[in-house]
Structure 1
Amino acid sequence: MPTVEEYFGKNAGVVWHALKEKGPMNIAQLKSKTKLTDKELYGALGWLGREGKTCILGNTPLLFKFSLKE
């Protein structure tokens, strides 16, 4: 069984590369691009957010887009 760091770290890398390649994306776009499950995607976004690598664009939760910090 993978460690927490291996599991979420790997998925965070997948999300990071998707955002680096395509720019800001919403949840549906990230799910489509990364093929991660909801749990994997939200865990990865939480990991990246905690590391200070992402930001949220927009005011309405259902319309949020996630972006890499510059």
Structure 2
Amino acid sequence: MNTEVIGTWAGLVWTALNESGKMNVKALKKATKLKEKELYAGMGWLAREGKLSIAEIEGDVELELIG
């Protein structure tokens, strides 16, 4: 795994959130068709860039793009 691949996964996460707005991890995983570790790597990339809001609501993790 290299940064180019992780960047591609981040792009899939960004696209899904951009099209659908807020999503939980389960819905995002289904929308992107990524494996769990791939999904979290992409989420981490976007979070590190300050492009992702992550909140825990009623025991579920909800994600949303910032800006």
TM-score normalised by the chain length of structure 2: 0.90
User: Which residue pairs with 1:41 in the alignment?
Assistant: 39
User: Which residue pairs with 2:6 in the alignment?
Assistant: 8
Looking at secondary structure, tell me which structure has more strand per residue: 2
**Partner Cα distance (2:41, 2:6) in 1:** 6
> Number of residue pairs matched?
67
User: Which residue pairs with 1:28 in the alignment?
Assistant: 26
Superposition RMSD on alpha carbons, in Å?
Answer: 1.4
Shift of 1:59: 4.3
Unmatched runs of 5 consecutive residues or more in structure 2:
none
Which is higher, the Rg of structure 1 or of structure 2? 1
